[in-house]
Amino acid sequence: PLPPKFGVETPRLAELSDLFDSGLDQWGVDIFLVDELACHKPLCAVVYAIFEKRDFFNKFHIHPSVLVNYFSQVEQHYKQENPYHNAIHAADVTQSTHVLLNAPSIANVFTELEILASIFACAIHDVNHPGVTNQFLINTAMYFVTYPNLIPMNVESELAIMYNDMSVLENHHCAVAFKLLQEPSSNLFASLDDIQRRQLRKMVIDMVLATDMSKHMSLLADLKTMVETKKVSGGCLLKLDNYSEKMQIMQNMVHCADLSNPAKPLPLSTHWVTRVMEEFFNQGDREKALGLPVSPMCCRETANVEKSQVSFIDFIVHPLWEAWTELVHPDAEHILNTLEQNRDHYCELSAAKEAESVK
Ligand SMILES: COc1ccc(-c2ccn(C[C@@H](O)CN3CCOCC3)n2)cc1OC1CCCC1
Ligand SMILES: [Zn+2]
C-alpha cells in the first residue's frame, strides 16, 4: 500500500502539490509555507517530492513507504523547539541543493548515486541538533570535571566527550542518521549493492563533516583553486575524474546551501535571521547562567543583528557564493545578485540604527 502523498497526512494536499509543481525547482520557494501545508513535516514532504521528481523510487528501487518510515524518524529527531536548527532548515538546505544540482553547467557531472548521496546528506545534515554551537558543547564538557556535584544538566555536553571536541555536532548528526537506517522498516538503501552502499556512506560522511564551519576557509580555498584551474582548462568541468575533486564540489555545494539564507529573497532571509538570532540568544542566556563567557553575537542585550549579518555576508557568505557563481557561471548570477541586494539592505538598516542611536 502506498503512503499518503509526500508522506504527510494533510488536508491541504492540493495546495502542497501545486506549490511543489511551481516551486520545487525554484530558488526561493517559501519553505515556511511548505512547513504549514505539510502539517509541520516539511522534511518528509520535500524529500518525497525530490525523490519523485528525480525518479529515485525507481532508479534505486525504494518503496515510498520505506522513505516515509525513515524520514519520519529523521524528522522526529530534529528538535522542533530549536528556532533555527530544526526540520525546516533541513528541508530548506535539501531543496536548495536540489536546485543547485540542476545548474546546466554541472549537468552530467554527477552520477545518480552522487546526487542521491547529496540529497540524503542535506536532509540529515543537522539531525538532532541541540541548538547550541560546537564551542558551547566543548566549553560545557569540562563543566562536570570542574563541578562534579552538578546533576548532568544536559546530555549534550556528553557529545564533546564522545567526539573529543572534533566536529562534535557534525559527527553526531551522521551517527544518528545512520543509526536510524538500521531500523528494518527504514532500510532505504536495501536495494543498493554493497559497493554502492559503502560509497554512499563515505560520500555522506564527507559532506556532513564538511558543514562544520571551522572547515569553511579550507573548503573555500579548494573551491577557488578549482575555479582557477577550470578557467585554465577552457571552462569545462568534465575533467573531474578523481573522487577528491568531485567531493570538493559536492562539499562546497552543500555548504553553499547551508549558508544560503542571506542569498534568498529578502522576506525569507530576514525570517531566518530572526530564528538564528533567537537560537544564539538562547545559547547566550545559558552561557550567562553557567557563568561562561558569552559567545560572539549571542548576547541578547548587546548584539547588533544587522551589523553581524553584514559581516557574516562580507567575510563568509559572499566569498563562498562568489566562488560558486564563478564555478557554475552563468547559472548562479541571480543568486549572487540577491545576496548583494540583501547585504545592502542590512547595511542600510544598520546605518539607520546607528543614526538613530546617536540622536
Ligand atoms: C541568517 O544568518 C545566519 C544563518 C546561519 C548561521 C549559522 C548556522 C550555523 N552557524 C555556525 C554557528 O553555529 C557557529 N558560529 C561560530 C562563530 O561564532 C558564532 C557561531 N552559523 C549564522 C547566521 O548569521 C549569524 C548570526 C548573525 C551573523 C552570523
Ligand atoms: Zn545546517
Task: Specify whether the backbone of 234 is left (phi greater than 0), alpha (psi in -120 to 50) or beta.
Answer: left
Choose, from 40, 61, 77, 85, the residue flagged as catalytic.
85
Centre of ligand 2 from the C-alpha of residue 86, in Å: 9
* Distance, CA of 100 to CA of 92 (rounded, Å): 12
* Distance, CA of 9 to CA of 11 (rounded, Å): 7
* Distance, CA of 34 to CA of 31 (rounded, Å): 5
For ligand 1, say whether the CB of 211 is within 6 Å of any of its atoms. Answer: no
The bound ligand whose nearest atom lies closest to the alpha carbon of 215 is 1
- The pLDDT score that the predictor gives to residue 158 is 87
- The pLDDT score that the predictor gives to residue 142 is 77
What are 109's three cell numbers? 557531472
Report the predicted TM-score, pTM, of the whole model to 2 decimal places: 0.96
261 DSSP assignment: G
Specify whether 61 is catalytic: no
Task: For the beta carbon of residue 228, count every other beta carbon within 10 angstroms.
Answer: 12
Whether residue 96 contacts residue 48, with contact meaning beta carbons closer than 8 Å, is answered with no
- The pLDDT score that the predictor gives to residue 179 is 98
Q: Whose CA is nearest to atom 15 of ligand 1?
A: 133
From 254, 276, 300, 350, give the residue whose CB has the most ligand 1 atoms within 8 Å, as the site to mutate.
Answer: 276
Judged by DSSP in three states, 166 sits in: coil
Q: Whose CA is nearest to atom 12 of ligand 1?
A: 133
Q: Whose CA is nearest to atom 10 of ligand 1?
A: 213
The bound ligand whose nearest atom lies closest to the alpha carbon of 97 is 2
Q: Per-residue pLDDT tens for 311-338?
A: 999 999 999 999 999 999 999 999 999 9
Centre of ligand 2 from the C-alpha of residue 90, in Å: 7
* Distance, CA of 180 to CA of 187 (rounded, Å): 9
Q: Whose CA is nearest to atom 17 of ligand 1?
A: 296
- The pLDDT score that the predictor gives to residue 173 is 98
Phi, psi of 243 (to 5 degrees): -55, -45
Centre of ligand 2 from the C-alpha of residue 133, in Å: 11
3-state secondary structure 195-240: HHHHHHHHHHHHHHHCCCHHHHHHHHHHHHHHHHHHHHCCCCCCCC
Residues lying with their CB under 5 A of ligand 2, a single-atom ion: 126, 258
Q: Whose CA is nearest to atom 9 of ligand 1?
A: 213
- The pLDDT score that the predictor gives to residue 240 is 72
Whether residue 89 contacts residue 261, with contact meaning beta carbons closer than 8 Å, is answered with no
Whether residue 169 contacts residue 159, with contact meaning beta carbons closer than 8 Å, is answered with yes
Task: For the beta carbon of residue 55, count every other beta carbon within 10 angstroms.
Answer: 10
Whether residue 77 contacts residue 130, with contact meaning beta carbons closer than 8 Å, is answered with no
Judged by DSSP in three states, 113 sits in: helix
Centre of ligand 2 from the C-alpha of residue 303, in Å: 22
Centre of ligand 1 from the C-alpha of residue 204, in Å: 22
For ligand 1, say whether the CB of 237 is within 6 Å of any of its atoms. Answer: no
* Distance, CA of 144 to CA of 178 (rounded, Å): 29
The minimum-distance atom of ligand 1 relative to the CA of 213 is 11
Q: Per-residue pLDDT tens for 189-234?
A: 999 999 999 999 999 999 999 999 999 999 999 999 999 987 666 6
The minimum-distance atom of ligand 1 relative to the CA of 308 is 28
295 DSSP assignment: P
- The pLDDT score that the predictor gives to residue 237 is 62
Q: Which residues of the chain have pLDDT under 70?
A: 150-155, 231-239
